[in-house]
Amino acid sequence: MENYLYFRKNRPISASVTLGSATNTCPAFEVSDIGALAGNDNINEIAAISITSLDGGGTGHASVLFVPSAITPTLAYSATALAIATGTTHWIEPSDQAYANGVLTIDASGTTGGYDLDTGDIVTAYWKTGLETAFMYPVSALKGMVATSDTVTVLHFASILGSATDDTVTLTHSGVDSDSKGGFDHICKVMNDACNAYPQDGRIISVYDGHDGRVASLNSNPAAITLMEYAPEGGAAGMAT
10 Å Cβ neighbour count for 161? 12
Query: Cα–Cα distance between 108 and 92 in angstroms, integer?
Result: 11
Tally the domains of the chain: 2
- Residue 119 is predicted with a pLDDT of 96
Written as one letter, the residue type at 25 is: T
**195: phi then psi, degrees, rounded to nearest 5:** -70, -30
**Residue at a domain's end among 102, 127, 152:** 127
- Residue 199 is predicted with a pLDDT of 77
Write the CB contacts of 225 (distance below 8 Å, at least 6 apart in sequence).
Answer: 171, 172, 173, 183, 187, 208, 215, 217
Q: Do residues 121 and 189 both lie within one domain?
A: no
Does residue 104 sit within a domain?
Answer: yes
HEC-encoded secondary structure of the chain: CCCEEEEECCCCCEEEEECCCCCCECCCCCHHHHCCCCCCCCHHHEEEEEEECCCCCCEECCCEEEECCCCCCEEEECCCCCCCCCCCEEEECHHHCEEECCEEECCCCCCCCCEECCCCCEEEEEECCCCCCEEEEEHHHEEEEEEEECCEEEEEECCCCCCCCCEEEEEECCCCCCCCCCHHHHHHHHHHHHHHCCCCCCCEEEEEECHHHCCEEHHHCCCCCCEEEEECCCCHHHCCC
Does residue 5 sit within a domain?
Answer: no
Q: Are strands 14-18 and 103-105 parallel, antiparallel or unpaired?
A: unpaired
pLDDT in tens, the chain (241 residues): 899 999 987 677 889 999 999 999 999 998 777 776 766 777 888 889 999 999 999 999 888 766 665 566 666 777 788 889 999 999 998 989 999 989 999 999 988 789 999 999 999 999 876 556 788 999 999 999 999 998 999 999 999 887 778 999 988 888 876 665 688 999 999 999 999 988 778 899 999 887 766 677 788 888 888 878 888 876 544 443 3
Q: Do residues 38 and 122 both lie within one domain?
A: yes
What does pTM read for this prediction?
A: 0.66
- Residue 66 is predicted with a pLDDT of 63
Greatest CA separation found in the chain?
Answer: 65
**Residue at a domain's end among 94, 127, 160:** 127
Does residue 7 sit within a domain?
Answer: no
Q: 91 to each of 58, 120, 125, 171, how far by Cα in Å?
A: 14, 17, 10, 35
Does residue 3 sit within a domain?
Answer: no
> In 3D, which of 164, 55, 43 has the Cα closest to residue 113?
43
Q: Do residues 115 and 63 both lie within one domain?
A: yes
Written as one letter, the residue type at 143 is: K
Q: 200 to each of 34, 137, 142, 183, how far by Cα in Å?
A: 37, 18, 19, 29
- Residue 191 is predicted with a pLDDT of 94
Q: Do residues 17 and 85 both lie within one domain?
A: yes
**Residue at a domain's end among 109, 127, 145:** 127
Decide: residue 207, CB within 10 A, 0-12 exposed, 13-18 middle, 19+ buried: buried
Q: What domain range includes position 190?
A: 133-238
- Is the Cα dihedral 158, 42, 75, 55 positive or negative? positive
- Residue 6 is predicted with a pLDDT of 93
